[in-house]
Amino acid sequence: MSRTGKESRAKVFPREWDMELYMAPLEGITGSLFRNVYQAHFPGFDRFFTPFFGNTGFNTKELCDIGPDANQGMPLVPQILSNKAEDFLQIAQRMKDYGYTSVNLNLGCPSGTVTAKGRGSGFLRDPKALDSFFAEIADKSPLPISVKTRIGYEDESLWPEILAVYNRYPVTELIVHPRLKTDMYRPGIRMDAFAYAYENANMPLVYNGDINTPEDYRRIVTEFPNIRAVMIGRGILRNPGLIGEIHGAPPADNKAIREWLDDLMKQNHAAYTEIPTLFKLKEIWTYLQDRYPEHKKELKQLFKAKKLNEYKNAAAVILQ
């Protein structure tokens, strides 16, 4: 396929506004339990991605999370974080053995411990090494590869070169989070870099980053009508009903949010002890709390809770 500018892209990937919606992988949050409970309460995502797998030897938690039993009826793409072709191929083979039909390569993680080893967005510093990596895995990979990428490490100058690498290989889909590694999650999205990908990527494109309202979603699909999908992460933690709102449903009320959180609590507590269950719930509340600025006192109690009962009492007042 030749390079597709805006017009030719429209012919190759005709899309209406009902393009697909992907749940972003959030390490420590969107494991199988979260994905299942979220989908049961707020249906509307078309595809899910696991948080990254970075080691060839999986631990028990990872094995439970990736197994078919935990992911029934859910279109799920496992994500791999690696800069070693051999490791990538080994993990991809295991994913194939589990029955998955594609894998996603993480080239976006900005965490210092990851990038220091040249993985995630750390790999974007060296497009030549990235090219060699793709050259090694492209023909040997047991499964088709999609990529989730940031647009560079510390400046945008390498973005055209990085994109040219992806264009040289059979990358099935490119998910772009238009921030640099050094941007971390600071406000400000580099839309020009996304527009550059829209003009120059020769594979289906997915937008990811800072979709927090239906208006944010509409702005992206209006400006880039021929992307394949929009991927949303933190937006559904700040507003759990966002996915429904995008599909035209009314905003989620406190009752719907309470039922979702209660279910999440029950299922987490069935799988883990009290402390890790509390930890998971508090992590979600770090995002959700912005909806309830009038409940400063109860939010403080919720974050200080050492027992599930204390958590429940605080959450009940906030969500009444």
Reduce the secondary structure of the chain to three states and give it as a string. Answer: CCCCCHHHHHHHCCCCCCCEEEECCCCCCCCHHHHHHHHHHCCCCCEEEEEEECCCCCCHHHHHHHCHHHHCCCCEEEEECCCCHHHHHHHHHHHHHCCCCCEEEEECCCCHHHHCCCCHHHHHHCHHHHHHHHHHHHCCCCCCEEEEECCCCCCHHHHHHHHHHHHHCCEEEEEECCCCHHHCCCCCCCHHHHHHHHHHCCCCEEEECCCCCHHHHHHHHHHCCCCCEEEECCHHHHCCCHHHHHCCCCCCCHHHHHHHHHHHHHHHHHHCCHHHHHHHHHHHHHHHHHHCHHHHHHHHHHHHCCCHHHHHHHHHHHCC
User: What's the maximum distance between 2 C-alpha atoms anywhere in the chain?
Assistant: 60
From 108, 152, 204, 241, residue interacting with ligand FMN (rule: CB under 6 A): 108
Residue of this chain nearest to ligand FMN (CB atom): 233
- In whole angstroms, what is the distance from residue 291 CA to residue 258 CA? 13
Comparing CB distances to ligand FMN, the nearer of 181 and 295 is: 181
Comparing CB distances to ligand FMN, the nearer of 143 and 236 is: 236
From 45, 52, 100, 311, residue interacting with ligand FMN (rule: CB under 6 A): 52
CA distances from 17 to 42, 56, 115, 132, 252 (A): 20, 39, 36, 37, 22
Comparing CB distances to ligand FMN, the nearer of 27 and 136 is: 27
Comparing CB distances to ligand FMN, the nearer of 108 and 244 is: 108
Contact pattern for ligand FMN over residues 159 through 198, marking x by CB under 6 A: ------------------x---------------------
Asked whether position 79 contacts ligand FMN by CB under 6 A, the answer is yes
Comparing CB distances to ligand FMN, the nearer of 4 and 121 is: 121
From 209, 214, 240, 241, residue interacting with ligand FMN (rule: CB under 6 A): 209
Which is it for the CA torsion 175, 181, 182, 187, positive or negative?
A: positive
Minimum Å gap between C-beta 220 and ligand FMN is 11
Minimum Å gap between C-beta 7 and ligand FMN is 28
Asked whether position 122 contacts ligand FMN by CB under 6 A, the answer is no
Comparing CB distances to ligand FMN, the nearer of 189 and 278 is: 189
Asked whether position 239 contacts ligand FMN by CB under 6 A, the answer is no
Asked whether position 203 contacts ligand FMN by CB under 6 A, the answer is no
Minimum Å gap between C-beta 283 and ligand FMN is 8
- In whole angstroms, what is the distance from residue 191 CA to residue 225 CA? 15
**Residues 248-307 within binding reach of ligand FMN (CB under 6 A):** none
Comparing CB distances to ligand FMN, the nearer of 210 and 298 is: 210
From 4, 36, 71, 106, residue interacting with ligand FMN (rule: CB under 6 A): 106
Asked whether position 211 contacts ligand FMN by CB under 6 A, the answer is yes
Interface with ligand FMN: number of residues (CB under 6 A): 22
Minimum Å gap between C-beta 218 and ligand FMN is 15
Q: Which residues contact ligand FMN by CB under 6 A? A: 24-29, 51-52, 79, 106, 108-109, 148, 177, 208-211, 232-235
